Amino acid sequence: MQRLDLEKMHLDDLWDLHQEILDVLDRRLESEKQKLQSQLDELGRKFGGSPKDIPQRRPYPKVEPKYRNPTNPLETWSGRGKTPRWVVELLATGANLDELRIQ
């Protein structure tokens, strides 16, 4: 179909064509996904493994919070990861990190 033909088509016809294209794409993508999954499963069996044998990230223990916001006790921080804004703001005002430590 040429671009000029699309420009001349009625809006309802274009919308129907759009829906039909989406349906065809959906079916083809699902079919391709199933093919690729079966190929991956076959490769896993061929080389002595299954998808379940893929090493998973080891579980880490829950880290208890070490610091608490004195103005809002619901805000806590374990001391790991990115420093929360409330800690940065309190440190900028001259507070010490030890003052925020949970006893």
Of the CA atoms within 13 Å of residue 56, those in its CB half-sphere come to: 6
- Residue 60 forms part of a structural domain: no
- Residue 77 forms part of a structural domain: yes
- Residue 62 forms part of a structural domain: no
- Residue 49 forms part of a structural domain: yes
Residue 64 CA to residue 77 CA, distance in Å, equals: 8
- Determine the structural domain holding residue 77 and report its residue range: 67-100
pLDDT recorded at residue 51: 59
The predicted-structure confidence for 13-27, as pLDDT tens digits, reads as follows 889 999 999 999 999
Residue 3 has pLDDT above 90, yes or no: no
Tell me how many domains the chain contains: 2
The burial class, CB within 10 Å (0-12 / 13-18 / 19+), for 59 is: exposed
Q: How confident is the model at residue 8 (pLDDT cuts 50, 70, 90)?
A: confident
* CA distance to 4, 5, 9, 17, 52, per residue, from 1 (Å): 8, 7, 11, 11, 47
Distance of CA 89 to the CA centre of its chain: 29
